[in-house]
Structure 1
Amino acid sequence: MKFLTLNTHSWMEEYQEEKIKIIARNIKEKSYDMIALQEVNQSIEKKCIFKNIKEDNFALVLLKELESLGCMEYSMLWDFSHIGYDKYEEGVSILTKHKIKEDISFFITKSVDQTFWKTRKIIGATIKINEEPIDFYSCHLGWWHDEEEPFKDQADQLLSNIKKDRLTFIMGDFNNNAFVRNEGYDYLIEKGLYDTFSMAKEKDTGVTVKGKIAGWSSNKQDLRLDLILSNKKIGIKYSKVIFNGKNKPVVSDHYGVEIQTEGF
């Protein structure tokens, strides 16, 4: 199976429409089984077209672009985390070409006030492969040193919602640099999660952010913030950074991560 995670920085990018086309063409080419997206925005003032999805929801626009390419098999989930940049409803999304058996969303922050920009929500989907359920979560967590909404509390809340009796993938922007010891990344690994990057037979540097971005305004280092984690040891053929200017053009202030599993 092939998975992709990407913080899209949606509707905040220059040449946004062209970047949507680049993402869509890549999805069609790679035929990912599961895609986790973060910072998936829609305009506050736009019209709802079904449930809480508005007409310019970035995941919906991406889905329509895929359909225009003849790629009709994907469906989407999205939920609203908080107001971003005073004009967007920002959320997390999952796209998959598999039938979704169950879906879930839940807050992981103490705050459930969606006007507060640090409020965080997770979205999850269950699919079946060879009659076995597999869970996937799209995540956008906060920062290790944040006193209002500490990362550790968010991670604990996330892990408390995961079913431990089935294979689970936790994908997204964790806002903690995996190159730094004794902070958020190590906390997740100590809690029993496995990094598909570490398990991959073929891998690159794993760097998903270079320089200053929103939330990392003083950054001068290469960061590995975007991860695909699992709750079990599994075979991983490769883990590659994508949309970094080397493996496909840059489409966001984050690069994406794609993996291919072995055995299923």
Structure 2
Amino acid sequence: MAEIEFYYASSIISRRQRAPLQRLTFVALVENRAYDKRVEARWRGEEGEWQIAPAHYVAPYGDNQEVWRAEVEVMLADERPLPGNVQFALVVNQQGRETWENNGGVNYTIEADAGVIVGARHPVALLDFRPRLEPEQRIVPVTVAVFGRAAQVAIEWSTDGWQTKQRTACSLARRHWDQLELSNARNPNQYAVGVWAARLRIREAFRVEYAIVAEIDGRQHWENCGGRNFSVRRDSFKVLILNLHCYQEDDQQAKLTTIAQAIREQNIDVVCLQEVAEHWNDGAGDWASNTARIIHEQLPQPFYLCNDWSHRGFDRYREGVAILSRYPFLRTEARYVSASHDPYDIHARKVLMGQINAPGIGVINLFSAHLSWWSHGFRTQFDALRAWAERRATRHVVATLLCGDFNIKAGSEGYAHIVNSSDFEDQFLKATDRATFDAIFRRRQEHWQGALAHDGRIDFILLKRGDKLRPVAAQRLFVEGSYGRVSDHEGFLVTFEPV
């Protein structure tokens, strides 16, 4: 395997702008020998000096290669001609060494407005690969460059891990570049490279995997990402739980800002908050001081908020729960799960439900809960919450998540009650210690409590057993070395993907 390979390049003169614009693309396959690397295209036009175009990482390729792409745009101006015909080479710097791919020392060349050329080892190349699906995306465009006389080109693809597969034929449009860029590039071009295109109708699938097959001069050629298939997927679904500590923190506003920063930077989809506070104001509340609202205002919009309160907290605040969601609420509902509904009783506990439709996953019911201690009613409150969640888990709901501060330690009598209910399972534990999770929730191993003796959590994300989500990562977010302390709770972030 070469440390750097030429995959494809393109040169197009677009006439869609106020002045002609030449767009150059250089794509390399780079062996991944070190995380820290620099990849560049070195190029020059007909009359210009050699220039450097930094490349950016696109996606993995095969077992140990990566796709890197460099792009250059030059608009015609009085003082700046278009590059025209271009010479180029590709360079990678890693492990303190510079390696060139320069066509055996004579450089590669591509004529102005020529379309695409491909590397000698890649007669079939995927163009403009983008591994991320947008939230509302339902169609995946696939564009392929093929060297030689291709009788047919097709995409074989699957949205269920190849349990089933489909085949979609590609088409060769002679006016491909004219329609796309008002370009004069021919298709196929003078380099015998034709551009073929297809559209995969994936609907609401979370992930699509595909490979390209082309029949060239009577032989079948596959481009399947070095044997791994190309994969395009939506972002994972991220859920954060955090008890805000009811305005008891020093530098409270700064800490609320830190929470909003973490939600933005971690691309979190749903946040279930407890001890959400606003000034009591003779029981009428004060929305301007509501801590969930303050966080919400610092998030990119649209972001959605539902909120409700349970009781008077710390003798000064309306205290309750909230849910922040990147996706609109299909429905919301709040109800007491405690016997007491007295707003002056701290054991009056109200839970908030929000239902959303997460792209690529489906309808999810989320419950933001702050329950009492075991000795003050946890058992009956949890049973009421569980029964409510079961009633709302209708046929179209793919997952139910009970989230929040349950006020019972991992491994305690209250935690054992959750385990013995057999309905809901600890997703942070499943993501971070699968062996212990299986011993507790699958095998019911004797004396399992000892495995959680040093766990210390009282905040949990519980998924209904058998639902179509699985945790793939988890972390404590508001701790030293991450975002720092913002509350007397650490904040737990769990990342999910569909089963």
Which bracket does the TM-score occupy, shorter chain normalised? 0.7 to 0.9
SS at match of 2:465: coil
Distance 1:73 1:53 in 2: 23
The Cα of 1:186 is off from its aligned counterpart by 1.6
The Cα of 1:258 is off from its aligned counterpart by 0.1
Distance 1:201 1:176 in 2: 19
> Does the 8 Å CA contact 1:46/1:56 hold for their aligned counterparts?
no
The change in CA–CA distance for 1:32 and 1:115 in structure 2 (over 3 A counts) is same
Match 1:60 to one of 293, 309, 312: 293
Distance 2:411 2:476 in 1: 15
CA RMSD of aligned residues (A): 2.2
Compare relative contact order (CA 8 Å, sep 6+) and give the higher one, 1 or 2. 1
Q: Does 2:400 align with 1:168?
A: yes
Mapping 1:23-62, distance limit 5 Å:
23-45=259-281, 54-62=287-295
Larger radius of gyration: 2
SS at match of 2:298: helix
- Give CA-to-partner distance per residue, 1:203-262, whole Å, 9 cap, x none: 9xxxxxxxxxxxxxxxxx862101111003432111111102232210001110001012
Match 1:87 to one of 316, 319, 327: 316
Amino acid in the other structure paired with 1:256: G
Tell me the residue number matched to 1:210: none
Structure 1: state its 5+ residue gaps.
Answer: 204-220
Match 2:459 to one of 226, 239, 245: 226
Distance 1:197 1:141 in 2: 19
Mapping 1:159-238, distance limit 5 Å:
159-162=386-389, 163-165=392-394, 166=397, 167-180=399-412, 183-191=413-421, 192-200=423-431, 223-233=456-466, 234-238=469-473
> Does the 8 Å CA contact 2:410/2:455 hold for their aligned counterparts?
no
> Does the 8 Å CA contact 1:76/1:94 hold for their aligned counterparts?
yes
Distance 2:286 2:417 in 1: 34
Tell me the residue number matched to 2:303: 74
> Does the 8 Å CA contact 1:139/1:172 hold for their aligned counterparts?
yes
Tell me the residue number matched to 2:493: 258
Tell me the residue number matched to 1:20: 256
Distance 2:283 2:410 in 1: 39
The Cα of 1:17 is off from its aligned counterpart by 1.1
Amino acid in the other structure paired with 1:84: G
Q: Identity, % of aligned pairs?
A: 30
The change in CA–CA distance for 1:240 and 1:255 in structure 2 (over 3 A counts) is same
Mapping 1:143-162, distance limit 5 Å:
143-146=373-376, 150-162=377-389
Tell me the residue number matched to 2:243: 7
TM-score calculated relative to the size of structure 1: 0.83
SS at match of 1:65: coil
SS at match of 1:32: coil
> Does the 8 Å CA contact 2:283/2:318 hold for their aligned counterparts?
no
Amino acid in the other structure paired with 2:406: F
More strand by share: 2
> Does the 8 Å CA contact 2:361/2:498 hold for their aligned counterparts?
no
Aligned residues: 236
Amino acid in the other structure paired with 2:430: M
